[in-house]
Amino acid sequence: MILSLRCFIYRRNSPVSVNPLPHFCPVSCFSTSFLVTKTPKKFRKKRKKKDSPRTKLVQTSPNLIHHFEEILRRDAHFRFLFRCKEFLSKQPDHVLRLDDAGKLHQQLGFPRGRKVIRFILRHPLIFQTYRHSDYSCWLGFTDFMEDLLSREDEIMNELETQRVDTVRKLLMMSVNKRIPLSKIYHNRALFGIPENFRDRISKYPEYFKLVVEDDRRQILELVKWDPCLALSALEKEYVVDEDKVKSAFKFPVKHGRSLELEVADEKKLNLLNTLPLVSPYSDGSKFDLWTLEAEKYRLGIIHEFLSLTLEKRAYIHNIVEFKEEFSLTKHTYQMLKKQPRSFYLAGTEMNWCVFLKDAYGKDGELIDKDPQVLFNEKLYEYGDMEDAESGKEVSAHLSGGEEKS
């Protein structure tokens, strides 16, 4: 009786609930968690991931030049071979403890977390492992590779005069005719400069002067300007083929459609902007940063820089390292993309490589090959050989070639 009275009082005092939507049934008290209300993951439409600069190619499919892209794949394939060769060459007796090699993934050019022995076994004609008397494993060169290194040293000595001229031209292009020695050393393989170039500088006091600054940086300075060297590859080509040089770069003149110019007339109009070209050996500091002359100067710098390299190409990190010395801007990538007649950008937007197109034939081969390039191509061939019999044939071929010479 008391309980029913309490319920009556509660109902009387509580506000009357009115259903605002009388045509709809009230919410059911039953659970619906067992019903499938979302599309299963395997049936969902997969969203395409946005391309990042690390993976997005510079060139689109219609503009791809496959033999240039193949050169970059070759670089990736032989990255361990060349980095390990360079690192081992600087070690005492050309050997390295295998446990230490496994920790030097960045210096030796193999992915972090991978076992270094896997990459060593890919090149049995180049590298070998052996166990020391204290049961420790070591990495070193094969006897065949040691012979190749001796041959490479001979090539470096034969071409020393040319390499000296290359460094002189780099200094002549720089703003203050001086470049930190470390930058030349880091990019020595790009120009075929020997490892011990620092020691050879003292042999040429008439060309170079080594200055040590307060922060102990070693700066290489030009001693004497040589007008015979201050002639760019484009200027030499202009004497041989004038029309080819005129079409090397394109600086279009804006004009209205009402002019209705033909192709030949449009080319002549564009020549008003294109000519005269600016020499990379001129004083670039006198140009305003965003003028047409300044852009011509920077394009000339890049063109001459590439013409001095062994393979007429360079990666972004090679060019950026000389940014201050050559008055380059952060817009170098966009500037080169606007000049497809002379340059080809391969690779990805984050790690691109620029090629000098005229230096390559239609088959993707360099037209003029430096002796160091020929040596590297042989090393590529030997690096892919996997059996001892091939090594014997190569040794016989190499010794036979030396006897003929």
Q: What is the DSSP string of 118-183?
A: HHHTT-TTTEEEEE-TTS-EEEEE-HHHHHHHHHHHHHHHHTHHHHHHHHHHHHHHSSSSEEEHHH
**Crossing angle (nearest 10°) for helices 160-173 and 292-308:** 170
pLDDT the model gives residue 273:
64
Spatial contact of 361 and 367, defined as CB atoms under 8 Å apart:
yes
Give the pairing of strands 95-97 and 208-212.
unpaired
For residue 203 the two structure tokens come to 């042999």
For the chain, give the percent of residues with pLDDT over 70: 81
Q: What is the mean pLDDT of the chain?
A: 84
Judged against a pLDDT cut of 60, whether residue 167 lies above it is answered with yes
Least confident of 185-194, 338-347, 391-400: 391-400
pLDDT the model gives residue 390:
56
pLDDT the model gives residue 158:
95
Question: Model confidence at 113, in pLDDT bands (50, 70, 90)?
Answer: confident
Cis preceding linkage at 276, omega within 30: yes
pLDDT the model gives residue 402:
46
Average pLDDT in the 284-298 region?
86
Average pLDDT in the 231-259 region?
78
Average pLDDT in the 327-346 region?
93
Judged against a pLDDT cut of 60, whether residue 331 lies above it is answered with yes
> How many other CB atoms sit within 10 Å of the CB of residue 80?
23
pLDDT the model gives residue 264:
60
Spatial contact of 306 and 312, defined as CB atoms under 8 Å apart:
yes
Task: Report d(CA 241, CA 358) in Å as an integer.
Answer: 13
**Crossing angle (nearest 10°) for helices 143-158 and 160-173:** 60
Least confident of 87-96, 153-162, 276-285: 276-285
Judged against a pLDDT cut of 90, whether residue 96 lies above it is answered with yes
pLDDT the model gives residue 249:
85
Among the listed residues 382, 377, 404, the one whose alpha carbon sits nearest the alpha carbon of residue 392: 382
Least confident of 250-259, 292-301, 388-397: 388-397
Average pLDDT in the 229-248 region?
87
Which range, 36-40, 203-207, 386-390, has the best average confidence (pLDDT)? 203-207
Judged against a pLDDT cut of 90, whether residue 61 lies above it is answered with no
Average pLDDT in the 73-78 region?
95
